[in-house]
Every structure is written in C-alpha cells, then in structure tokens.
Amino acid sequence: MLQHDYTTSQLDVLEAEAIHIMREVAAEFERPCLLFSGGKDSIVMLRIAEKAFWPAPIPFPLMHVDTGHNFPEVIDYRDRRSAELGARLVVASVQDSIDAGRVVEETGRRASRNRLQTTTLLDAIEEHEFDAVFGGARRDEEKARAKERVFSFRDDFGQWDPKNQRPELWNLYNAKIRKGEHIRVFPLSNWTELDVWDYIRREGIEIPSIYFAHTRRVFERDGMLLPDADVVQRGDDEPLFESMVRYRTVGDMTCTGAVSSSAATVDEIIAEIAATRITERGATRADDRASEAAMEDRKKEGYF
C-alpha cells in the first residue's frame, strides 16, 4: 500500500501565509506597490509575488527608494530582475528630494542619506497614490518592528502610531482606509533570517554577489567594517585594509557594514547564521544601533 506524506513544512506554511497576504492586498486595495531594493528580503517577496499570481504578471509596480549611495552590485541586480519579470519599476530618488529642498543632506564623517529616505518614500507614495506598500520587514529584526501588525496602518502624514493599530484575528485583515492614508504590508513578518535563506536555497533564487564572501577594501568604525567608497567619509585614524567579508543585509553604503566571513555558498551562509547570536541589523547597520525608543520614533515619522 502506498504511503503518502501530507506533512507541511515550515517554509510551506510561511509561503502560504505570504501568498494569502499578497492576494488579499491585490483584492482589497486599488494601487498597491512592492518595495524592491535588490536585497534578500525583497527578493524573496518578489518570488512570492510571482507565485501568488502566476501565470499572470505581478499586478502592481515595484518601487525602490534610491539614496544614490547604494551598492552597485545590488542596483544592477534590481534593474536586471525587474526587467526579466517585465515589472514596472518606480525609482524614488533621495537626490531629487535634496535638489528640490525637501530634505537637507547631512555633513561630516558619519553623514548618511538613510534617514532622508523617509521624506522621499512618503512623497512617492503621495505622487503615485499608492494605498498599500509591501515591505520586507520581519519581526525578528529588532524590538520596534516586533510590534508591527501585518497590515500596519499609517495616517495621512505617513506616521505609525502603535496605539492606533488594528487587531488582527487569525488571518483576517482590516483594509479600510480614508483618502491619503495607506497601509504598510509585511508578508514576511513571521519569517526569520534563517527562514529567508532556507527559502532562497529551496527555490534556487539568484541573489547579488555581495551576500557571498569576497575580498574587499574596508575600514573599521565602531566595531563595524565599512566599505572603501567615494560616498563614505573616512578619517585619518581609520586605515584601510583588505579583508574577506560578506554582507548580511544591504542598504546605504554609508551605514551598512560587512561581516568577516568565508561563506561562499548558500549552504555555508545558512550554517554561519545558524551559529550566530547577533541579529543581522545589530551586526551590520550603524543606523540601527540605537535604543528601542529611538527606533520607534523613526517609525512614527514614517520610516520603513
């Protein structure tokens, strides 16, 4: 007698939940979009969107808030992947916001455009009248994000108020908003960094090369390895050296650090992550080395 195994794996459950969320958004909202930076979380979201609507094309555009200080490898991947899918890519430029006087660029050794993205993002949402925005945030990243709902309500100023979030019972989501308000949607809320990499391995998804170990000129600042780049200001007391590194997360070059690593394959990365006790953002993002209260304040301002 044939034996059938109907056990559902952890990845299958997470994928099914994310597909349900994406289909719910497509059904409930008029103008959703998916934030796609070329980073691993947005890559996984894009793969899930493909599956959710296959064989039809993805029914909403992709959007990237480009600081102008992103890693070239990631931007190349972003453009190539969106072209392969035939998806419309909206690029919201922080440089355009600076030129228009909407934001003022920071100066000094620790200057970064990362926080300036908030204004650019909110302006793009208003310009294109997006009423739902998919983001790749996960609750395991840090405490402020752990408070997020899957459907995270933002008022007409784009602000997040933890006291004004809707209850989410089981898989029932409240999509009611007024003109000017929008919902940030996080299909990967219940995923962990390890789940993301397990999914990348299972699906055979291509990712940017900087996620794998490579030799790079870096310098150390506050225990982090920052890249040698024109947009990163380095002091005389911060000597350059070559090291074998990789990136656990990608973002603005001015505040995204590499980690020392020899992991050159997805299997080796999974083994490395399984053994670490430091979160990816705590290990590699200078802008996230703040108190829980500071991170929550940034979210209230409309940050990702």
Q: What is the CATH number of the domain that holds 78?
A: 3.40.50.620
**Whether 161 and 276 share a structural domain:** no
**Whether 111 and 58 share a structural domain:** yes
Q: What percentage of the chain carries pLDDT values higher than 70?
A: 90
Q: What is the pLDDT of residues 113-145, one digit of tens each?
A: 888 999 999 999 999 999 999 999 998 887 777
**Whether 174 and 27 share a structural domain:** yes
Tell me the DSSP string of 26-61: HHH-SSEEEE--SSHHHHHHHHHHHHHHTTSPPSS-
Interhelix angle 72-85/40-53, nearest 10 degrees:
0
**Whether 43 and 184 share a structural domain:** yes
**Whether 280 and 185 share a structural domain:** no
**Whether 138 and 221 share a structural domain:** no
Residue 237 forms part of a structural domain:
yes
Q: How many CA atoms lie within 13 A of 279 on its CB side?
A: 13
**Whether 155 and 217 share a structural domain:** no
Domain total of the chain? 2
**Whether 172 and 68 share a structural domain:** yes
Q: What is the pLDDT of residues 154-204, one digit of tens each?
A: 998 888 888 888 888 888 999 999 999 999 999 999 999 999 999 999 999
Range of the domain at 255: 206-288
CA distance 258 to 70: 14
Residue 5 forms part of a structural domain:
no
CA distance 231 to 220: 16
Q: Could you tell me the pTM of the whole model?
A: 0.89
Q: What is the pLDDT of residues 236-260, one digit of tens each?
A: 898 999 999 999 999 889 889 999 9
**Whether 64 and 190 share a structural domain:** yes
**Cβ–Cβ < 8 Å for 62, 34:** yes
**Whether 278 and 224 share a structural domain:** yes
